[in-house]
A and B are shown apart, each in its own frame.
Chain A
Amino acid sequence: MKVIFNEIKKIFNLKMVAILLLGSLIIYELFISFYIDYFPNGRPALDSYNIGCNMIKKYGNSMDEKEFADFKQMYNKKVEEANKYLSSREDCKKANIRTYEDFKNTMDSSDKNSCEIHNEMMNEDIFWELQEMERIVDHYEHRDEIVKKSYSNKNYKEKVEAIVNGEGLTDILPEIIQDDYNDAIGHVAILILVGIVFMLLPLFLRDNKNKVNYIQYTSKRGRNIFKDKVAAGLISAFIITTVQLSAFFILYSKNNVSMFFNSNINSFLNRHLYWYDMTFIQYIIMTVAGIYVLSFAVTLIAAFVSSKASNYMTAIGISVPILFAIGWLSDSLLINQLEVIYIPKMLAPIGYIVLITISIVLIAMGWRKEKGTDIL
């Protein structure tokens, strides 16, 4: 245990931690802060978020037909408000826009007057809100058809059928919330993996280069130190992942989306459907679990590379394409689009299993080789 602790101390030496912090900060600023600083990003995203919040407050996580009637009434009231507003403006009268209906009909008009009015109305909250509410009404009323139509592939016909017949579809989860989270967590995953590789590549290489391995391998613990180092690597990866994720979620809490945590991700407002009927918070937990698994797999791979490479150039050189490959996988399957319905249900689990298997086989091979190899 003491050996492991010492190895961990070696991994977290001050210089490396400083570089890791600085690097993380830069990656965060370049790729992640956007999803927090600019959430909700412009309009109608802002309206989508606000209306979603209000709906949750009023109806809870799900909206039944009765509540929908109430929502529609609210919409009608808003339309009246808009009518009043439009008819009170002189310029609108001139352009022959007296009601919200007129306003909508002249949306694509090339008439100069109405164009100007449309441009100006972009500054009025009410028209953005109406647009979003209309979308919600439309999606709610036609939710079954919309889902069936946009997911007509026979591979997931059964699941779509189940979603349509289930209760989750009436849950409230605007797409911007899940999209924003997915994009952010995908980048966080890559940040974590890069950080782990950076911290763990010297794991064996440093001692091998300094020939400390002669002393280590002839000590009482002997070549078992290989296992200690791997254990130290895994513990360090756990620490790095936990710290990075905590930092991210503290920042993510600024997005203020906790009211949607209990909404089903297969909501009529969400863009994608998923294989599992889980709540948003469950989905978040699933991605977090996925990140831990990925980071352990990457740890084992990095440890293997570190024990085999003869110099740092080789170690980094091998890691670069590996990281690109795993990054691409996490982006397209394992984290970003985890269990999205148009990707076969079993593909992500298989992906994880393959990755884990590869990493375990590699490290086991490394260990067996190390046990019997000549140390030159």
Chain B
Amino acid sequence: MLLVNNLSKYYGKFCALKDINLEFDNGIYGLIAPNGAGKTTLIKMLTTLIFPTKGEILYNGTNIVDMDDEYRDILGYLPQDFGYYKNYTPTQFLMYLSALKGIDKNKAEKKIKELLELVAIDDVADKKMKKFSGGMIQRVGIAQALLNDPKILILDEPTAGLDPKERMRFKNIISELSRDRIIIISTHIVSDIEFIANEIVMIKDHRILYKDSTSNICKSIEDKVYETEIQFNDSHDFKKKYISLSERQEGENMKIRFICENKKEIKSTWAKVNPNLEDVFLYEYNDNLKEK
């Protein structure tokens, strides 16, 4: 069990995260936050790349900083933006990383073969990575994170650069793995984790906003999400009043999904719909969504 205790991180006077308390058990956690909310700061602290100004992170009761290599031994991490050695093949690169991860050479060779098959780049296992596409590099990154069969797997934007087919494959891999480990996935693409995550963590203004299951989070805006058709000409005024969640053209009119917080304003032409995670996301981070 991974426990985040009163965690704060300051860069000088700037506060990146404040008083974070979290608890992770085996399962998949989706970490959702807009840019600059402190998501990457949290992940870097979970991976011991940066250190808390205040508070601590405990794994089974021990501070992960004190655990040192013991902790990193059970950690798998895919950074959002990571480099690779251009003149290495995926096999060579992974061999090097397995040395860093303290994996026995023979074991590593086997494992690397397995993983490259799993992420479907075994056909280029011995080609230099110089000319790989972004998606291929991303898959090398995923394989790398899984090398040591980690108990804690932290993936920062793992589906970036993957095509829909690969996304699907990735989701299956993750679901498969989640039974006996903690998986934390940070992403902007809400749909990627909506259905596979056991819990969603949302960060707002450097603090935790929600940490709950998708359905519970969605309940927070139950009865507030509606859909209706309006004329294009009216859309400007309409959007001034309500938070628009999505719009799409339908013949002459515009179909709009929006939030209405005042029950008295509800009109009969509006259809109430079930909120999804994206709605919550847009609602919570709506600062600029209402037209001025």
Residue of A nearest to B130 (CB): A376
Report A-chain residues with C-beta under 8 Å of the C-beta of B264.
Answer: none
Q: Does B131 sit at the interface, judged by CB under 8 A?
A: yes
Report B-chain residues with C-beta under 8 Å of the C-beta of A376.
Answer: 86, 130-131
Q: How far is the CA of A376 from the CA of B131 in the complex (A)?
A: 7
Q: How far is the CA of A376 from the CA of B87 in the complex (A)?
A: 12
Residue of B nearest to A374 (CB): B131
Q: Mark A351-376, 1 if CB is under 8 A from B, else 0.
A: 00000000000000000000000001
Say what secondary structure dominates the interface of chain B. Answer: helix
Residue of A nearest to B132 (CB): A376
Q: How far is the CA of A110 from the CA of B69 in the complex (A)?
A: 82
User: By the criterion of a CB under 8 Å from any partner CB, how many residues of chain A are at the interface?
Assistant: 1
Q: Mark B121-149, 1 if CB is under 8 A from A, else 0.
A: 00000000011000000000000000000
Q: How far is the CA of A376 from the CA of B130 in the complex (A)?
A: 7
Q: Which residues of A from 290 to 335 have beta carbons under 8 Å from B?
A: none
In angstroms, how far is the closest chain B Cβ from the Cβ of A238? 36
Residue of A nearest to B87 (CB): A310
Q: Mark B66-90, 1 if CB is under 8 A from A, else 0.
A: 0000000000000000000010000
Q: How far is the CA of A126 from the CA of B151 in the complex (A)?
A: 94
In angstroms, how far is the closest chain B Cβ from the Cβ of A374? 9
Q: Mark B95-131, 1 if CB is under 8 A from A, else 0.
A: 0000000000000000000000000000000000011
Q: How far is the CA of A299 from the CA of B193 in the complex (A)?
A: 54
Residue of B nearest to A376 (CB): B130
Q: How far is the CA of A376 from the CA of B86 in the complex (A)?
A: 10
Report A-chain residues with C-beta under 8 Å of the C-beta of B86.
Answer: 376
Report A-chain residues with C-beta under 8 Å of the C-beta of B131.
Answer: 376
Q: Which residues of B from 130 to 177 have beta carbons under 8 Å from A?
A: 130-131
Residue of A nearest to B131 (CB): A376
Report A-chain residues with C-beta under 8 Å of the C-beta of B130.
Answer: 376
Q: How far is the CA of A376 from the CA of B133 in the complex (A)?
A: 10
Q: How far is the CA of A264 from the CA of B69 in the complex (A)?
A: 77
Q: Which residues of A from 262 to 280 have beta carbons under 8 Å from B?
A: none
In angstroms, how far is the closest chain A Cβ from the Cβ of B133? 11
Q: How far is the CA of A83 from the CA of B131 in the complex (A)?
A: 91
In angstroms, how far is the closest chain B Cβ from the Cβ of A69? 80
In angstroms, how far is the closest chain A Cβ from the Cβ of B245? 33
In angstroms, how far is the closest chain B Cβ from the Cβ of A209? 11
In angstroms, how far is the closest chain A Cβ from the Cβ of B84? 12
Q: How far is the CA of A157 from the CA of B86 in the complex (A)?
A: 62
Q: Mark B209-236, 1 if CB is under 8 A from A, else 0.
A: 0000000000000000000000000000
Q: Which residues of A from 77 to 111 have beta carbons under 8 Å from B?
A: none
Q: How far is the CA of A376 from the CA of B137 in the complex (A)?
A: 13
Q: How far is the CA of A128 from the CA of B74 in the complex (A)?
A: 85
In angstroms, how far is the closest chain A Cβ from the Cβ of B197? 33
Q: Mark A34-69, 1 if CB is under 8 A from B, else 0.
A: 000000000000000000000000000000000000
Q: How far is the CA of A295 from the CA of B131 in the complex (A)?
A: 38
In angstroms, how far is the closest chain B Cβ from the Cβ of A312? 16
Q: How far is the CA of A376 from the CA of B134 in the complex (A)?
A: 11
Q: How far is the CA of A376 from the CA of B129 in the complex (A)?
A: 11
In angstroms, how far is the closest chain B Cβ from the Cβ of A288? 44
In angstroms, how far is the closest chain B Cβ from the Cβ of A195? 32
In angstroms, how far is the closest chain A Cβ from the Cβ of B13? 25
Q: How far is the CA of A166 from the CA of B196 in the complex (A)?
A: 99
In angstroms, how far is the closest chain B Cβ from the Cβ of A215? 16
List, sorted by A's number, 3 A–B pairs whose CB atoms are closer than 8 Å.
A376-B86, A376-B130, A376-B131
**Nearest 3 CB-CB pairings of A with B:** A376-B130, A376-B131, A376-B86
